[in-house]
């Protein structure tokens, strides 16, 4: 993301934000209240379109970034306010809401093997 600015009316929520995320990284975003952390995450997820600036993925500029595209690209977040489901495994908690599926005769089934392998790396 390059030179991301986001205004809500006359209020500037993000100012000239530049950030690079690398494949496989887990990022923690910390800062003061009202610093723009949630707003930045919403831009990363395609929920808010920046007022100005550029979004790239794999070196390609993305002009119409939206939540469905973010999911297709493998971009996701875990919010701090959401607790874990203690009746589910670590893998199931990690993938909660975006579980990978495999198909058998066209019928989708959760791919537990893929979840387990990815969550134990």
Domain ranges of the chain: 2-72, 90-119
Q: Which CATH superfamily is domain 2-72 in?
A: P-loop containing nucleotide triphosphate hydrolases (3.40.50.300)
Q: What is the mean pLDDT of the chain?
A: 85
Tell me the average pLDDT across 61-72.
85
Q: In sequence order, what DSSP letters do the residues of 31-97 get, joined into one string? A: --TTSSHHHHHHHHTTSS--SEEEEEETTEEESS--HHHHHHTT-----TTPPP-TTS-HHHHHTTT
Task: Express as a percent the part of the chain with pLDDT over 90.
Answer: 28
What is the predicted pLDDT for the residue at 8? 94
Checking if the pLDDT of 77 tops 80, the result is no
Tell me the average pLDDT across 99-108.
89
Global confidence as pTM: 0.63
Checking if the pLDDT of 121 tops 70, the result is no
């Amino acid at each position: 993301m390059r030179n991301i600015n986001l205004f809500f009316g006359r209020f500037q929520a993000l100012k000239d934000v530049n950030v690079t995320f690398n494949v496989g990284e887990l990022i923690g975003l910390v800062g003061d209240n009202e610093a723009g952390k949630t707003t930045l995450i919403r831009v990363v997820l395609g929920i808010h379109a920046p007022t100005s600036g550029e979004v790239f993925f794999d070196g390609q500029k993305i002009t119409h970034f939206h939540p469905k595209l973010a999911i297709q690209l493998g971009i996701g977040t875990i919010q701090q306010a959401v607790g874990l489901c203690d009746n589910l495994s670590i893998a199931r908690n990690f993938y909660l809401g975006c579980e990978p599926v495999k198909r058998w005769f066209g019928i989708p089934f959760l791919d537990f093997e893929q979840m387990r392998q990815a969550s134990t790396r």
